[in-house]
Structures are given as C-alpha cells and as structure tokens.
Structure 1
Amino acid sequence: MPAVMTLKNVVIGAMFGFAATGYGIASAHASVTTAPDNHLLSTLKYVELEAEQGDKNMQLFLGRAYIEGSNGLKADPLKGMYWLKKAADDTPAVQAMIGDLFKNGRGLPRDNQKAIEWYTKAANEGSVPAMVELGHFYASGGGTGKTDCANAIKWFNDASNAGSMDSKRNLVWLYATCSDKEQRDGERALKLAKQIIKRSASNDAGDYDNLAAAYAACGEFNDAVKAQQVALSKLEGKDNQRITKFSKRLELYKQNQTIYSASL
C-alpha cells in the first residue's frame, strides 16, 4: 500500500502543475524529477484505473492531457471528452471549462452551440463565470447577429446576485439601451447605476458613461449630458477610441436622443 500511495502522489503532484487551477479541483506543484512526461506513460494504466473508479482529479487530468496532446499523450479529442465528461459530472467548474474549450477552439472544434450547452449546465449549477459568459453571448447576438436582451439580462442578473459587479454594470447598459422595448427599463438602469457609483465610490469613466445612458433612457437629458461630461473627464486623454465613442454619445444627449444598442 505505501508504494501505491507514493505512486499516486507522484502522479497527482506531476500532473497538477498544469491542470485544474481555477476550476475548483485540488492542485499541487511538480518538481523536475516528477515531471509528467517522465511518469505518465509508465503509469497510464494506473491513472486510468483510478479515473474509472471515480477519481475526479485523474479524470480531469486525462481529459486535459488527451485534449491538449500533452504529458506524453497523443492528442485524442474523443478520449479527452470521454474523461472530461466524467470529471464534469456534478462539477460546474469543469463544465464551464469545457464551455471555454468549445468557445475558444482549443483542442476541440470551435462550436458556439456546444459552448452554450456546457455553460448553461455550469450556470444552472451555480458557476458565476458561466453565467457571465452566457450574458455576453446573448448580448453580443450569439453568433446570429441578433441581440437577445431577455436572456442576456437573465444571466447577468443571476451573476450580479452572486456578486459579479461587472455583471451589474452590464445590466445598467442593457436596461438603458436595449433595442427590445419590453426589456428596456430606464428607471431600473438609473437605480443600478447610482448604486454602483455610491457603493464602489467609483472613479471609473465607464460607470459614468452608464449613468449617462440611464439618465437618457429616462428622458433626463440635462443630467445625461453632465454625467457624460464627467465620463469624458475621467478618460484624461488616455483612450482615443473611447473618447470618440463617449463624445458621440454626448452629442446625442445634447440633442435629446437616447441610445438603442445593447452592444457591451
């Protein structure tokens, strides 16, 4: 038994120098003498046995190794997904990771629909990063070019309730500018925008840009102009692209016009 435990410790220590940091799985660091390339092929049957018996660490490691073609293994997406699916069972962080792989086309074909399926699984089990990804996906048009404000708001709201301040900011913009009249809500946008600035003692130009859009959505154009001028002052000439964008919005507010664009 001591020999088996030593082998397992060596394998885990070796493999998690690269593996699951950020995905909610225990991690360790490998020394040069326990580098995965030196051990995995000789212990592959043991690793697979542990994985088949339900060891999430081993499942995740094998999945990543086969997907990436690393640690002495030849890339094999089918085997990689076999193990990742096992590791993902009841593990939203791994579900979100699979979504990332499909979204970015890393080791797997880029596939937005499969990315969304995995992000949705993860989000439904409480993964805040997956909620944020879904919010951005629907706000950006999800590959269809047509913004889905209802779903974008739903997921950003869930992420916001779970503590994501950036998602709360995205909600302000969506409520203030969404082209879908049923989803646009200037009063709610204004309330959220003021909360963000008050609670965070914000000095961020983007927060005042959002505040201005919220004022405009409520028809309060004088306040929108003032807030947009503050937003511009906080850029301090550092970002010409944003200065141009903010300046165009300022001119709209001066003409008592609102913005109808959910693009984040």
Structure 2
Amino acid sequence: MDKSILNIYVFILLTFSNVAWVQPENMTENVPKILLQQVEQGDAESAYFIGTIFKDGTDEIEAQTEQAEYWFSRGAEMGHAFSMYEVAEIQFDKKEYQKAKEWYQLATEQGHGDSFYKLAYYPMYGYNDTPLDCKAAYALLDEARLRKVKGAFNDQAWMLSTLPDSRCRSGEKAWRIYSELEALFGQSGAIPWAYWDTKAAVLAEISEFNSAIRLQKWIVEENCGLELSSEQDAMRKEVAAHLQKEQTEELAYCQSFVERLQVYLNRSSWREDPPDINNN
C-alpha cells in the first residue's frame, strides 16, 4: 500500500474519529484505538491494515517487522488470505521455511496468486529440504500465471529455456509464456532487466540466435557500460577479452550477462542449475 495513502488514512482516523493512541500490552508502538476495536470484533481487514502500517511505516509509526508479523498473524488467524501471505513472507525472510510454507498453502486454498508463486520456490530451489522437481514447480507456476503473477511467467520461461535436464525444457512453451508476459506489460514496455535477460535465453533455446545476440548485446551495453561491435566476429573477441579481465566488483555484476552473450555468439543455449540455496 502506498505510504501516502496510509498517512492520509491514519490522519482521517485521528481527526474525525476523535481517536486516542493507545499502547496494547504486547505492542511497542501506538495504533488507532478504533482499529484495535475492529480487530477485537473479528475484523481481519483491520488487522491486515495495521500490519501494513507497521510493514511500511508512516509519518507517525516507524516500520517494525516484529509488529507487522503480529498483526498480520491476527488477520491470518481469522482466515484473511493476504494476511497469510504477509506472515509467510516474513517467516520466509527469517528462514523459517516450514512455517512459511504452511501459511502459503493456506493462502492458496483461497486462490492467492503470489502464494502459488512462492510455494513454487520450494521445488524450484530446494527450500525446506524439498526435492528439486521442475514438474511440481511448473504446476504451481501455472496456477500463479492463471492469476497474472508476472514473476511466475518470467521464472517458468527461464526454467523451460535453461535447465540442464532436457525433460524440464521446452523452448516453444517458454516462448509462448514469455509472449503472454509481454502482453501483460502492454504498451508501457516497463519490463525489468531480468525479464529481458530471460527473453534472450528463450530466443536462444528456440535457435533464434541472432535475435538473442542483439538483445543480450543491448543488455550488456546498458548494464555494463561496454560498447560492442555490431559484427559478430569482432564482438566475440571483445567479449572474450572482457571476460579475461580481473573481476572487480563492478565487472562481477555484469559477468553473467557477458557470459550469456558469449554462449549465444557460439550458437548455443544457456544452461544453468537452480542456485544452491543451502550455500547462501
């Protein structure tokens, strides 16, 4: 929720409801009494709203994750899907993966799209000692895509194009999914850099190497400050020379972009195992 909207809402509560700030026993920050009363009356939406205040902060209230988790938990316990998701996100960040998974699952029972997407992380990356399973991940990503979760489109297209196991790949399906993702963004063109990187990988997987090279060249030039030749033989030499340089922190950021360009110049598709989250 936009922080300015939160500020306006709190101001209205204080100004027109003659609300005094109170401090519940288990709180370290003040919240409007009217909201507390609504929560006690079983209003899960109010608990979610208070949680959002503490998550994002306002001019009156400092953002506090512990308080946000408490209030999201109150909403979650009353069956509020968005609260369930927010509790899961906090617990996931704290690496409490089993607890997070349980809340994501409960939220999916109410059709919450982002919860399907985050549940897919478990078979995608092995969280909570879940066996890696692209088919299980794809089933969850399919559900998230049905609910227009953009990250699910991108991640599934990437996996379908880059996973080493051929049983997990399908360039044609990856291209269809990525085309649907572009349609979601419409005419704005405000597609994140990571998504353009995915498109290049998809193009390479369907053997559209010249298109993949042009796109990846643009990504490298925009992100890494390099100017590369348009002629592919010259570009290949420039990329090889760049990769031989000592890797400063700035160069390391661009390393994977440049490595992918080198692979596409060699008329190959990119292959990449999921990150080993156990070493992170």
Q: Matches of residues 234-253 of structure 1 in structure 2 within 5 Å?
A: 234-239=219-224, 240-241=251-252, 243-253=254-264
Partner of 1:54: helix, strand, or coil?
A: coil
Partners of 1:262 and 1:32 in 2: how far apart?
A: 51
Q: Matches of residues 119-130 of structure 1 in structure 2 within 5 Å?
A: 119-130=104-115
Q: Which runs of 5+ in 1 are unaligned?
A: 1-17, 22-26, 66-70
Shift of 1:126: 1.7
Q: Matches of residues 250-261 of structure 1 in structure 2 within 5 Å?
A: 250-261=261-272
Q: Structure 1 residues 217, 146: closer, same or farther in 2, change over 3 A? A: farther
Q: What is the TM-score of this pair, normalised by structure 1?
A: 0.63
What number of residue pairs does the alignment pair up?
Answer: 229
Partners of 2:130 and 2:164 in 1: how far apart?
A: 13
Partner residue, 2:144: 159
Instruction: Verify the 8 A CA contact 1:194 1:211 in the aligned structure 2.
Output: no
Q: Does 1:131 align with 2:112?
A: no
Instruction: Verify the 8 A CA contact 1:174 1:262 in the aligned structure 2.
Output: no
Partner residue, 2:228: none
CA root-mean-square deviation: 4.6
Q: Which runs of 5+ in 2 are unaligned?
A: 26-30, 54-60, 225-250, 276-280
Match of 1:229 among 214, 225, 236: 214
Partners of 1:102 and 1:174 in 2: how far apart?
A: 26
Shift of 1:146: 5.8
Q: Structure 1 residues 165, 57: closer, same or farther in 2, change over 3 A? A: closer
Partners of 1:140 and 1:152 in 2: how far apart?
A: 9
Q: Matches of residues 1-264 of structure 1 in structure 2 within 5 Å?
A: 28-30=9-11, 38-41=21-24, 51=39, 53-57=41-45, 80=70, 84=73, 87-105=76-94, 110-144=95-129, 147-197=132-182, 200=186, 202=189, 204=191, 206-218=194-206, 220=207, 223-239=208-224, 240-241=251-252, 243-261=254-272, 263=274
Q: What is the TM-score of this pair, normalised by structure 2?
A: 0.60
Instruction: Verify the 8 A CA contact 2:197 2:216 in the aligned structure 1.
Output: yes
Q: Structure 1 residues 231, 41: closer, same or farther in 2, change over 3 A? A: same
State the identity as a percent: 18
Partner of 2:168: helix, strand, or coil?
A: coil
Q: Structure 1 residues 168, 262: closer, same or farther in 2, change over 3 A? A: farther
Partner residue, 2:58: none
Q: Structure 1 residues 124, 174: closer, same or farther in 2, change over 3 A? A: farther
Shift of 1:122: 0.9
Q: Structure 1 residues 227, 203: closer, same or farther in 2, change over 3 A? A: farther
The CA deviation string for residues 8-46 of structure 1, in whole angstroms up to 9 with x for no partner, is xxxxxxxxxx9xx7xxxxx93147978998424499x99
